[in-house]
Amino acid sequence: MPEPAAGVPATIALIAHDGRKVDMVAFATYNRERLGHFHLVATSTTGELLQDKVGLEVTRVLSGPKGGDTQIAAMVAEGKVRAVIFLVDPLTPHPHEPDIQAILRVCNVHNIPLATNVASADLLMTSSLLDRPS
């Protein structure tokens, strides 16, 4: 992945299914200081919650079902995202499942760290992997 330009922080993408938005807000609140060192991009509703409830600056893309998942997948493929935290709700069917799978696939193809639950997201946040040049 290309290194961000000097003075530009690395980007972390944040996505949460409706059933996991409360978990995302709690996670982001706990990790607010660390997340504040990165450029954050999120799907629409998740980004709005992170701005309003946690006070983080977030670049918002479309909502997941309206193409936001695909927008973030494209950013990953273009080397613009250092890591993805995608809190998935595995017990609820999602009509945009192909878009969700695209994010998972592109992270694997490009060797981008991907956390799909709070436990793995917490491990990612404590890792020096986010601070290393790629």
pLDDT per residue as tens digits for the range 26-42: 999 999 999 999 999 99
Residue 58 reports pLDDT greater than 70: yes
Tell me, what's the pLDDT at 90? 81
Quote the pTM value. Answer: 0.90
Q: Which residues are catalytic, by number?
A: 69
**What is the distance between the alpha carbons of residues 42 and 133, in angstroms, rounded to a whole number?**
22
**What's the CATH number for 11-127?**
3.40.50.1380
The lowest-confidence range among 5-9, 19-23, 50-54 is 5-9
Domain residue ranges in the chain: 11-127
Confidence of residue 97 (pLDDT cuts 50, 70, 90): confident
Confidence of residue 65 (pLDDT cuts 50, 70, 90): confident
What would the 3-class secondary structure string for the chain be? CCCCCCCCCCEEEEEECHHHHHHHHHHHHHCHHHHCCCEEEECHHHHHHHHHHHCCCCEECCCHHHCHHHHHHHHHHCCCCCEEEEECCCCCCCCCHHHHHHHHHHHHHCCCCEECCHHHHHHHHHCHHHHCCC
Higher pLDDT: 111 or 130? It is: 111
Average pLDDT rounded to a whole number, residues 55-60: 98
Residue 2 reports pLDDT greater than 50: no
